[in-house]
Chain A
Amino acid sequence: GAGVSQSPSNKVTEKGKDVELRCDPISGHTALYWYRQSLGQGLEFLIYFQGNSAPDKSGLPSDRFSAERTGGSVSTLTIQRTQQEDSAVYLCASSFRLAGWADTQYFGPGTRLTVL
């Protein structure tokens, strides 16, 4: 079946503009994760959804960042008033996380965001 997809693959925006990043998880996966990765760095956890609710949004760096998930499927990550330090690759992952199951995550290809 189809894997995790993300759009757009690349986004160039001007400082101060808002951007929306989209993630389509694997069908049936209950959990969805957003990460950020700056050049040459590790993964920075942003937010985790179980169904449509977000039990852990501890990684969102500021109130300019928000995310939602609808229908237990598609998720959008919105960054308002973008800053140059927001430039990074934003990765989405999904998993079939149920009690007793190992949380193996399947990643999308990422969205490379460049803020000029």
Chain B
Amino acid sequence: SQQGEEDPQALSIQEGENATMNCSYKTSINNLQWYRQNSGRGLVHLILIRSNEREKHSGRLRVTLDTSKKSSSLLITASRAADTASYFCATDLIQGAQKLVFGQGTRLTINP
């Protein structure tokens, strides 16, 4: 089963509203990262949060991490049409795989 599971799989909101996406994982991590993908091409790194951090901000992005619940959330405030994309969480595991493990992604659509 997937290490990272995003929820919801798809989200559609009106421009200006806030969008929240969640990610759950199963094993202990060094850090968790969020990536964005436009139009099925290369992913772009958005933000990294370390296992000893609880919250991090970058512009309109806010990421939280709850290691006790093994979950993270990505909040995009004041959404814009250009935020329409797929968003993936990726976990950097303490043990096991020597690579980031990506979830299946949340498809976000911002309606004008």
Measured CB to CB, the residues of A under 8 A from B are 4, 33, 35, 37, 39-43, 45, 48, 50, 55-56, 89, 91, 93, 102-110
Contacts and interface: CB of A to CB of B under 8 A. Distances in A.
Contacts of B92: 102-103
A91 B104 contact: no
Q: Which 4 A-B residue pairings sit nearest by Cβ, starting from the closest?
A: A107-B42, A42-B104, A43-B102, A107-B43
A72 B6 CA distance: 34
Main secondary structure of the interface of B (DSSP, over half): strand
A45 B99 contact: yes
Interface residues of B, number: 25
26 contacts: A4-B42, A35-B102, A40-B107, A41-B104, A42-B2, A42-B88, A43-B88, A45-B99, A45-B101, A45-B102, A48-B98, A56-B97, A91-B42, A91-B43, A102-B30, A102-B48, A103-B92, A103-B99, A105-B45, A105-B90, A105-B100, A106-B45, A107-B42, A107-B43, A107-B44, A110-B40
A110 B44 CA distance: 12
A104 B41 contact: no
Given A48-B98, A104-B48, 14 more contacts: A4-B42, A37-B40, A40-B107, A43-B43, A43-B102, A56-B97, A56-B98, A93-B43, A102-B31, A102-B33, A105-B100, A108-B42, A109-B42, A110-B42
Contacts of A40: 107
A110 B41 contact: yes
B42 A42 contact: no
A40 B109 CA distance: 14
Nearest to A89: B40
Given A56-B97, A89-B41, A42 B102 contact: yes
Interface in B64-112: 88, 90, 92, 97-105, 107
B36 to A, nearest CB: 10
